[in-house]
Amino acid sequence: MKGRAAFGSAAAATWRPSARDLARSRLARAMRICGFDSLAELHRYSVDQPEAFWRAALDDLGVAFSTPWERLVDTSHGYEFPRWFTGGRLNVAFNCVERHAADPAASVRPAVITECDNGTRREMSFATLGAEVERVATGLVALGIGKGDRVGLFLPVIPEAAVALLACAKIGAVAVPAFSGFGPEPLAARLRSAEAAVLVTVDGTTRRGQRVAMKDVADAAVALAPDVRHLIVVSNDRGPISAQPCDLAWESLGIGRAPVPTLQCDPNDPFLIIYTSGTTGTPKGIVHSHAGYLVKSGLDFGYAFDIQSDDRLGWIADMGWMLGPLMIVGALQFGATVVFIEGLPNYPDETRLWRIVEGNRVTVLGMAPTAARNLRAAMGGSAQEQDLSSLRAFTSTGEAWDHPSWHWLFEKIGGGRLPILNYTGGTETGGGILSNYTMAPISPGSFAGPLLGQDVDVLDSDGNPTDGVGELVVRNIWPGMTHAFWRDPDRYLRTYWDRWPRTWVHGDLASIDANGYWYIHGRSDDTIKVAGRRIGPAEIESALVSDPRLAEAAVIGVPDADRGSRIVAFVTLKPGVSAFDPRALGLAVDRAVGKAMVPSEIIPVAGLPKTKNGKIMRRAIRARYLGEPAGDLSALDSASSLDLIPVRS
C-alpha cells in the first residue's frame, strides 16, 4: 500500500454508530468474519491482497457470475487499461432484476418508484420490471440491435428509464444516457460520438410544472445524428408530438415475439457510456463494463450506505449524470427499491422532499448541499413537520458542505440520530473514492476515509504526501474505473495518468486533518492561488454562507498583477433579505481562512448558474465575469441563467 488508510477518529466525531447501526451493518459483519478489528485494517487488506479481498467481497455482496472468474486482473494491455475478472461471464440485468423477479417474495416488492415533477407517483414491482425488460429487449433485437450496439436514452427518471437501461444490458447493447435538459445539439453530439442506432425518449415531461417537449428535442437531435435509425417514444404525459418516419411506440416493442435469452457477457464488455463535460474540449465518453459498474456500485452502496433489500433509496437524479444509472444498479442488485425524485426539492414548495419521504417510507435520502442550503433558507432554519421516522441515513455527493447547512440537516431534520453519508468520486471512477460509512464515526462536512479497494492519498505539487491541501489521487487500479474514454484512449491518459507514474490524479483538491478525516476543497481547476497560497473555493464559500443573511455563495479567482489572483464572490440573499454587511462577511472569511483570502469584491446576484444536479458552475461564472468564452454549457440547468452574472467593467 502506497497511500494512507486514514479513517476519522471517534473522539472528534459528531455522529457515532449506535449498537443498532453496527448490528445491521453488512460491512461490520464482514469485518468480524474476516477477523479485522478496524476499518483501516480491512482497507489495507483490500489494497494489499486484492485477489483474496475481491473474491470474499463479491461472494458477500452476492454478485452473481454465470461462469466463475479465474483471474482478478489482466494488465497485459497496459497498467492503465486493466481487464477484470477474466474468464468469467455475467450480466447486469440478471443481477439487478431477473433473479429478483423470479423470487416469489422479492417479485412483489416495488423496484422503481418515481415521484414526478407534476405531483403524480408511479410504481413498478420487480415482477413487472422483469417482464418489461424482457419485452423491450425482445423488441430491440427485432430492430436489429445486438451486442455492442449503442442505444441513446433521453428520458426523465421514470420506471421506463430503468427498463431501457436493463433491456440494453440483457442483450449486450450499450446504453448511452443523456441529460434530460439537453437541447438538440448537445444531445446530437453524444449520439454522433457514440454512433447510436436507436434513441429512446418520451413525448414530454414537466419542469416546475411547465411542459418540456422532449420529443421535439429528440426529433431535432436525430436530424443531426445520421446513425440513428429508430426513435422509440414512451407515452409519458400524452402531450402533442410531431410524428416522424423513424418513430416507434414503446408500448409496441416485442409484442407477439418469443423472448430473447439473456446474453452472458465478458465482464469487460461495455455496459454504459456516460458523457461528461470538461472545462475544455468535446464531452468525454466514459466507458463502463458489466462487471466494473456492477461490482463498484455494489461495494459502495452495499458497504458504505449499507443498502439491503428492505431499503428505499430516494434521490433527485437524472439519467444523463452518473447518479441515475448508479441508483438503478447500486440499489436493485440488492433487491432494494429506487425512489426517483424528478424535479426540484423546493417545487412546488419546501415540504416536497419531506412529504416524499413520509409517503414512500424512504429509508435513505440523498441530499445535495445546495438543496440543504436552499431548504434551510426557505424553512427559516426550522425543522419539518412531516414524519421522517423511516429514515436511517442521508447521503450526499457532488459538492462540499458548509457547516451551517450540515448542522441544520443533522440536528433539525435528522434529530441528531441520522448519519450524513458524504460520498465523492466521479463518473470516471465508477462510483466513490471517499465516503462515510454507517458503521464509522462522522465529522461535519468530511469523509470518514477511502472506499475499500482503492489506495488513496493527497499529494503536493511535487508528488509527495502532504498534510495540507493537495491533489486527491488513487495509487492503484480498481474494478469500476472507466475502461477509458470512448474511442479516445490518448485523452484518457492525458486526463488522469500523465502527471505521476501509475497514479490516477482525480482533479479534486483534498486534505486529511489531524483526526484522520478527509475533506474535498473543490476541483483543481477551481483552485485559487493568492500570494503563493492555494485554496479551494469551498472553504471561502462556507465562511460566507455562515452569515444568516446569505443563501448561497460562489467564489472565483481573477487575475491580479500583485498577488497572482484576487478573490471575487457572488452571493444570493435569503428571501426577505435586501442587503448584507460586506465587513461582516470579510471578518467571517478572515476568521475561517485568513485575511489574504477575504474577497476583494462581494457581488449580490439573483441566482447562480448550476447543473441540474445542483453543482454551481464556477468555471462558467468566471468566464462570464471576465468576458471570456464560456465553453461547453450543455450541463447548464435551463432553469438557471448565466446572464445573472455581471461582466466585469
| Mean pLDDT for the stretch of residues 536-564 | 87
| Mean pLDDT for the stretch of residues 5-12 | 95
Question: What pLDDT, on a 0 to 100 scale, did the predictor assign at position 533?
Answer: 67
Question: Which residues are paired to 568 by β-bridges?
Answer: 556, 601
> Among all chains, which residue has been given the C-alpha cell 403524480?
120
Answer whether 641's CB lies under 8 Å from 425's CB. no
Burial class (CB in 10 A: 0-12, 13-18, 19+), 70: exposed
d(CA 486, CA 559): 35
Please report the beta strands in 513-641, taking only residues with DSSP state E, as ranges in sequence order. Answer: 518-523, 528-530, 533-535, 550-560, 564-573, 601-604
Percent of the chain with pLDDT over 90: 85
Residue 564 has pLDDT above 90, yes or no: no
Answer whether 135's CB lies under 8 Å from 166's CB. no
Largest CA distance in the chain: 74
d(CA 336, CA 342): 19
Question: What pLDDT, on a 0 to 100 scale, did the predictor assign at position 637?
Answer: 80
Give me the chain's average pLDDT, please. Answer: 94
Lowest-confidence pick of 303-307, 515-519, 527-531: 527-531
Task: Compute the C-alpha angle 637/641/642, nearest 5°.
Answer: 110
Question: What pLDDT, on a 0 to 100 scale, did the predictor assign at position 613?
Answer: 65
Please enumerate, as own/partner, the contacts of 518-521 that have beta carbons within 8 Å and a separation of 24 or more: 518/6, 518/8, 518/434, 518/446, 518/447, 518/448, 518/449, 518/450, 518/458, 519/400, 519/445, 519/446, 519/447, 520/400, 520/424, 520/434, 520/447, 520/472, 521/400, 521/469
- Give SS3 for 545: coil
Residue 54: how many other CB atoms lie within 10 Å: 23
| Mean pLDDT for the stretch of residues 6-18 | 97
Which domains does the chain show, CATH number per domain? 10-90+270-311+363-521 (3.40.50.12780), 95-252 (3.40.50.980), 535-644 (3.30.300.30)
d(CA 209, CA 246): 29
Question: What pLDDT, on a 0 to 100 scale, did the predictor assign at position 279?
Answer: 44
CB proximity list for 573: less than 8 A, separation 6 or greater: 549, 550, 551, 579, 580, 604
| Mean pLDDT for the stretch of residues 338-351 | 95
pLDDT tens digits, one per residue of 374-428 = 899 999 999 999 999 999 999 999 888 889 999 999 999 999 999 999 999 999 9
Lowest-confidence pick of 30-34, 194-198, 346-350: 30-34
**DSSP state, residue 274:** E
Question: What pLDDT, on a 0 to 100 scale, did the predictor assign at position 534?
Answer: 66
| Confidence tier at 443 by pLDDT (50, 70, 90) | very high
Residue 280 has pLDDT above 50, yes or no: no
pLDDT tens digits, one per residue of 59-86 = 999 999 999 999 999 999 999 999 999 9
Question: Of residues 282 and 408, which shows the higher confidence score?
Answer: 408
**Which is nearest to 344 in space by CA: 370, 324, 322, 383?**
370
Instruction: Note if the pTM is more than 0.95.
Output: no
Question: What pLDDT, on a 0 to 100 scale, did the predictor assign at position 542?
Answer: 86
Of the CA atoms within 13 Å of residue 482, those in its CB half-sphere come to 29
pLDDT tens digits, one per residue of 202-248 = 999 999 999 999 999 999 999 999 999 999 999 999 999 999 999 99
Answer whether 334's CB lies under 8 Å from 362's CB. no
| Mean pLDDT for the stretch of residues 317-338 | 96
